[in-house]
Structure 1
Amino acid sequence: MSKNKSSMKNIPGWAIMLAVFGVLYLTGLHTEAVGQVQRILLATGVKKADVPAVAENSAITTEAATPVANTPMAGAGFKMVGLDGKTVSFESLKGKVVFMNIWATWCPPCIAEMPNIQKLYEKVGSGKIAFVMLSVDEGGIEKVKKFVSKKGYTFPVYMPASQFPQEFASNAIPTTFIISPDGKIVAKHEGMADYDTKEVRDFLQQMVK
């Protein structure tokens, strides 16, 4: 027995860590594990979302108050399919503030920030503020539906049903866009962030006034 203990002590730490991550990877739990670690990072408040200060929103709200019917919308022509199988036109959201998050089930940073997006949705989601959680998974809608159900998320989830708009191109995932009621992208954040903050809530609500 003592010989076995001695042998364990001689195993390098990096080898043990490699073995642990190997097991997590083989069992498919590595995404969740990394996501949990990154969620702790978000809880420290060091990864806040980049949004303009509310004091700077006067120009945005003035534009939003003007007629929006004849102005082009970012992502015009883009089609999405909901988890219920129904196709939705992105342009149908015009006139609302749109919080759009591009994510995937295999993305640890996406998983890390989702709980705070759910909290944000519960606080500000309404007929005037639309949430679009756009999954870019290639495993089909059932995979995404199973993930969302397991997590208990209630925000609206969609998948692309047409060619992805150039306006929403990004070098990172997750990426979040905030679109004003007149269809303009007014904020973009690449990478994970904490969106359940007073700054983000105020920014969204200011645009619907």
Structure 2
Amino acid sequence: MNKYKFSLKNIPAWAVMLAIFGTLYLTGLHTEAIGQVQRLLLATGIRKADVPAVATAESAVVSSETATGGAANSGHMAGKGFKMRTLDGSTVSFESLKGKVIFLNIWATWCPPCVAEMPNIQSLYEKVGSDKIAFVMLSVDEGGMEKVQKFIAKKGFTFPVYMPAGQLPQEFYSNAIPTTFIISPDGQVVARQEGMAEYDTKEVRDFLQSMARE
């Protein structure tokens, strides 16, 4: 009588895939693996961030400042009263950034699309370097600051990272993560992108820099 011999060929393909994904999930590597695949999607250029034309942005800023007597004297600012913590534990008021163009990205370490788009946000940060443009990478992780610190250190990102020190303002609520907001110097949301996107593009760089001009 022939005994049944175990062979990998006898294992169903679905069982192999289940084992692979189960291992990735248990080791926490599934986020990185999915993020890598989505990063390849971004590299194709089909998920570019949608921002207004430069001329439209400049007109909006000029119109707003004319109506309010300048950015420093404008009305309600998006995120007014919101407090954030830096990764070294310092508390920062979102209002302290008023007068600058703010690139606000809401993300989490467990979010594959967030992981996928972060390298191109880092590239954007390096290219538009200006004291008139503020980057706020706002982590909504609930696992504590140490987890975020380790993630950023491992990736080598240098853009400013924060965590909420209170409830998110209503204007920053979103049904998707990541979500990115671009806020004008007078505190108005002028662009909003739900889901991952490619930000290191000429259109986004020109848009940010046009609003940052004196």
Give 5+ residue unaligned stretches, structure 2: none
Mapped partners of 1:143, 1:189: distance in 2: 26
Q: Is the 8 A contact 2:183 2:189 kept in 1?
A: yes
Partner of 2:186: 182
Partner of 1:124: 128
Q: Does 1:133 align with 2:140?
A: no
Partner of 1:37: 37
The 5-angstrom pairing of residues 50-199 of structure 1 reads 50-63=50-63, 65-66=65-66, 67-68=70-71, 69-199=73-203
Q: Does 1:23 align with 2:26?
A: no
Q: Is the 8 A contact 2:105 2:179 kept in 1?
A: yes
Mapped partners of 2:63, 2:131: distance in 1: 19
Mapped partners of 1:16, 1:42: distance in 2: 28
The amino acid across from 1:132 in the alignment is: V
Mapped partners of 2:58, 2:28: distance in 1: 47
Tell me the CA shift for residue 35 of structure 1: 0.6
Q: Is the 8 A contact 2:85 2:92 kept in 1?
A: yes
Deviates more, 1:162-171 or 1:7-16: 7-16
Identity %: 75
The amino acid across from 1:51 in the alignment is: V
- RMSD across aligned positions (CA): 1.4
The amino acid across from 1:52 in the alignment is: P
Give 5+ residue unaligned stretches, structure 1: none
Local SS of the residue matching 2:190:
strand
Tell me the CA shift for residue 56 of structure 1: 1.9
The amino acid across from 1:36 in the alignment is: Q
Mapped partners of 1:70, 1:189: distance in 2: 24
Local SS of the residue matching 2:208:
helix
Local SS of the residue matching 1:187:
strand
TM-score, normalization: structure 1?
Answer: 0.94
Local SS of the residue matching 2:206:
helix
Q: Is the 8 A contact 1:64 1:181 kept in 2?
A: no
Tell me the CA shift for residue 11 of structure 1: 2.2
The amino acid across from 2:176 in the alignment is: A
Tell me the CA shift for residue 64 of structure 1: 5.8
Number of residues paired by the alignment? 206
Q: Deviations over 1:127-185 (max 9, x none)?
A: 10000000000111111111101100000000000121000000000000000001000
Deviates more, 1:75-84 or 1:11-20: 11-20
